[in-house]
Homo-oligomer: A and B are copies of this chain.
Amino acid sequence: MAKPKRGVPKKVRVPTIQDVARLAKVAPATVSNVLNDSRPVAAIRKERVLAAVQALGYRPNALAASLRRKETRTIGIVVPDLTNPFFGALVHRIEELAAESDYQILLVSSNEDPKQEAARIRTLLDRRIDGLIVAPARDEVEAVSHPIGALPPTVLVDRGFGLAGFDTIAADNVEAGHRGCQHLLELGHRDIALIAMDPKLANFADRIAGYRKALAEAGAGRRARVVTGGLDVESCRTAIERELRRPDRPTAIFAASYVATLGAIKAIRAVGLDLPGDVSLLGIDDADWMEALHPYISAVAQPVEQMATEAWRLLNQRLAGGTAKSARIRLPCTLHVRESTRAVR
């Protein structure tokens, strides 16, 4: 048995700005000024400082600087579920942009739960993040900010569009629902079931509205069929399966999210129908695999990259002190017609 000496911290003292100053025979302030270009420093001293920094392997303690400067160059990101490729891509891109501007990312997941979301955001605030990007679990203001109090500059992505006091970004979900449904109608479908994870979430409500609008325009307003799935693939699958087993089963499924799309494919399989022979499928949200296996899945793609870019741009503006009134940005989706949608027989 090795006898583990517990809690013995390494004795290697990390050099501080004082150590550098001493070695370079200058004031700590001068070291700071050299390293941050915050004031002109004579060339001779500057060299001495740089040499000392080199010699000691000095790295400024960002914590101390943040405490003093009252700015952490850290932003929080909150997403409902990181395993969802939409949010994965979103975070990926934001992290990339943030890093370019020398910002770090504190990442938390809310697991689609407003309670957890609030709790996690609070811990982020305790760390004095400079800004926050959140894809909220719910759309209500209370859920996002009420239990938390003052927030730093915050931009809301995907959900919570239009909430007062926030810059908000979302896909044009009404148009996504409208355009998607139109596509199905053009193919001759009249019995189109739309599957939403939670029709109360604004983005689903919008997609449903667009869908209804397209239906109405085609004189098929009474044929709307909105099915509520749930937050996970299984519950969506079950709901869709039930719909497909009805005698008057739909000829097309419009799955209003990534999770719903996955559920729809599984449901169609489970019922033993042919895709797209017996039933067409149109998804919302794109993924790499949708163009791999046949039938390629037709989908209305949200502009994730753009959403990330805009989110970062808006946040950056605020971080720079911008006080423009809250932005509300709707980004257009793109319909990718592939193989899973086919003319009705």
* A5 interface contact, C-beta 8 A: yes
Residue A327 at the chain B interface, CB threshold 8 Å: no
Contact, CB under 8 Å: B126 / A60? yes
Q: Given the known inter-chain contacts A63-B128, A67-B63, A127-B63, please indicate yes or no for A288 contacting B269, CB distance below 8 A.
A: no
In the bound complex, residues from chain B placing their C-beta under 8 Å from that of A269 are 292, 294
> Which B residue sits closest to A4, measured CB to CB?
B323
Tell me, yes or no, whether A321 is within 8 Å of chain B by CB: yes
Contact A123:B107 (CB < 8 A) given known A8-B323, A63-B63, A63-B72: no
CA separation between A104 and B129, bound complex, in Å?
Answer: 12
Q: Which residues of chain B are near A215, meaning CB under 8 Å?
A: none
CB under 8 Å from chain B, chain A span 303-319: none
Cβ-based interface call for A246 (8 A):
no
Q: How far is the CB of A269 from the nearest CB of chain B, in Å?
A: 7
Query: Are A262 and B292 in contact, CB atoms less than 8 angstroms apart?
Result: yes
Is A233 an interface residue when CB atoms closer than 8 A count as contact?
Answer: yes
**Does A43 have its Cβ within 8 Å of any Cβ on chain B?**
no
Are the CB atoms of B63 and A321 closer together than 8 Å? no
Residues B288 and A265 in contact, CB atoms below 8 Å apart: no
Q: Is the C-beta of A91 less than 8 angstroms from some C-beta in chain B?
A: yes
